[in-house]
Amino acid sequence: MVIEHSSRGERAYDIFSRLLKERIVCINGPIDDDTSHVVVAQLLFLESENPSKPIHMYLNSPGGQVTAEKYCDGQELVSGFMCKYMVMLSSLQEQLKGTILLFANPEVYAVICGIGLPVVESSLAIYDTMQYIRSPVTTICLGQAASMASLLLAAGAKGERKALPNATIMIHQPSGGYSGQAKDMTIHTKQIVRVWDALNQLYCKHTGQPLDVIQKNMDRDYFMTPEEAKEFGIIDDVIDQRPMTLVTDAVDDEGKQKDSS
């Protein structure tokens, strides 16, 4: 809780609302639908206030949550059914880097382990809004920016993507799953491959790396220090202090608000 004093009395803010007044947006923890809704609304609001003034996005996120079990054995329940058979399909394994698990059930259910579409779509809603608004978005990583959070970090305005010295950046193929009848597998497989290809292209766009390099490094968890992330093209600079321009802007804004009150 932050309490401000003015000639009109006292006003209490929660800390994130107070930071929003300084055009600071925070993404903390896993990215899900709730996080996405709030961040998208904050970005649109700040743009409506001043389209030419930068927005500062602070990231400390492991990315999205896994949406399905990724393995099982003969004694485990996955999606409510006893796993009896594991079928490895080489063509899908090549594209999805996952497996298909079949279950002993009259309707034959299956789980594709590869990309968690709900998680990806929540993150891409934030990504698309960052590109859509006119306000430049500065991205700063503190703690970690992993999985889809690393894409948001890379999607900041060129020259304005930063990380603190002890941050960790990690890229990998998104994980999650889909469950349903086996006849739906083809439909969802095509969608998963489409999204996977789109993500590779987005990383290529923002890092400047060729597609084969992106695919190779995202095949498994690929951890980077800030300096390594800078060399890879995800960030532009490593900082250990808040830029003085941001401090000056915050002080100026506070002074204007006090004068108006």
pLDDT of 250 higher than 60: no
- Residues 124, 54 share a domain: yes
User: Is residue 107 one of the residues assigned to a domain?
Assistant: yes
User: Is residue 102 one of the residues assigned to a domain?
Assistant: yes
- Residues 154, 260 share a domain: yes
97-123 per-position pLDDT tens digit:
444 444 344 333 344 343 345 667 889
Mean pLDDT of 76-83: 35
What are the tokens at 16?
């994130």
Model confidence, pTM: 0.76
Q: Determine which of 88-102, 106-120, 186-200 has the lowest per-residue pLDDT on average.
A: 88-102
User: Is residue 215 one of the residues assigned to a domain?
Assistant: no
Is residue 126 within 8 Å of 36, Cβ to Cβ?
Answer: yes
| CATH code for the domain of 160 | 3.90.226.10
- Residues 236, 167 share a domain: yes
Q: Determine which of 35-44, 161-170, 178-187 has the lowest per-residue pLDDT on average.
A: 178-187
Number of domains in the chain: 2
Residue 79 region, left (φ>0) first, then alpha (ψ -120 to 50), else beta? left
- Residues 202, 110 share a domain: yes
Mean pLDDT of 83-96: 38
The kind and range of the H/E element at 141 are strand 137-146
Predicted pLDDT of residue 66: 39
Which residue would you say has higher pLDDT here, 91 or 87?
A: 91
- Residues 79, 30 share a domain: no
Q: Provide the annotated active-site residues.
A: 147, 172
- Residues 179, 61 share a domain: no
Mean pLDDT of 220-249: 90
What are the tokens at 5?
């004093």
pLDDT of 209 higher than 60: yes
CA-closest candidate to residue 242, choices 174, 142, 155, 152: 142
Predicted pLDDT of residue 234: 99
- Residues 128, 195 share a domain: no
pLDDT of 62 higher than 90: yes
121-164 per-position pLDDT tens digit:
889 999 999 999 999 999 999 999 999 999 999 999 999 999 99
DSSP state of 159: T
DSSP state of 8: T
Q: Which residue range(s) make up the domain with 88?
A: 68-115+175-208
Average per-residue pLDDT in the chain? Answer: 78
